[in-house]
Amino acid sequence: MKQKRHLAILLAVSQGHVHTQQELTEQLAKMGLETTQATVSRDIQELGLVRTKTGYKPVLFTDYILSVESVEFLTVVKTAVGCAILVARAIDERELPGVTGTLAGDDTIIVFHPDSASANAFKRFLNG
């Protein structure tokens, strides 16, 4: 259930401007996932989301990400030179739903997903 809720939260955050935990709780309810605001608060922390002027966003060293492309069940993330390992580690530590693992070089990360839908959701999440 937690994995499904986390995936729904990432989807809600990537699709629109969710500004409050209450709004997020309401979005989850519309998706058929009844939960408490306390649970949503813990989920936000576990997923590494921060609230900005435009809504909740991921904190994955996004300043270092230059581009994101999905191909089938893979996502290729291009970063600033020397930053791929930092970003990959941040992705791995979050244990995001739909992310099987990462492989990082100097400026490129390959993110593995169980299917193309997960890859596309992850791309939207990073592009926020």
Beta bridge partners of 69: 76
Residues 6+ apart with CB under 8 A from 101: 92, 111, 112
pTM of the model: 0.74
Averaged pLDDT for residues 67-78: 96
Q: Using CA atoms in the order 84, 90, 93, 99, what is the torsion angle rounded to 10 degrees?
A: -70
Which residues in 11-100 belong to E strands, given as ranges?
49-52, 55-58, 65-71, 74-79
Residues 6+ apart with CB under 8 A from 36: 25
Render pLDDT for 103-119 as a digit per residue (tens, 0 to 9).
999 999 999 999 999 99
Residue 113 has a pLDDT of 97
Residue 100: pLDDT band with limits 50, 70, 90: very high
Render pLDDT for 21-72 as a digit per residue (tens, 0 to 9).
999 999 999 999 999 999 999 999 888 888 888 888 877 777 899 999 999 9
Residues 6+ apart with CB under 8 A from 41: 21
Averaged pLDDT for residues 80-92: 92
Which two structure tokens, joined as six digits, stand for 57?
């966003």
CA atoms within 13 A on the CB side of 19: 2
Residue 128 has a pLDDT of 66
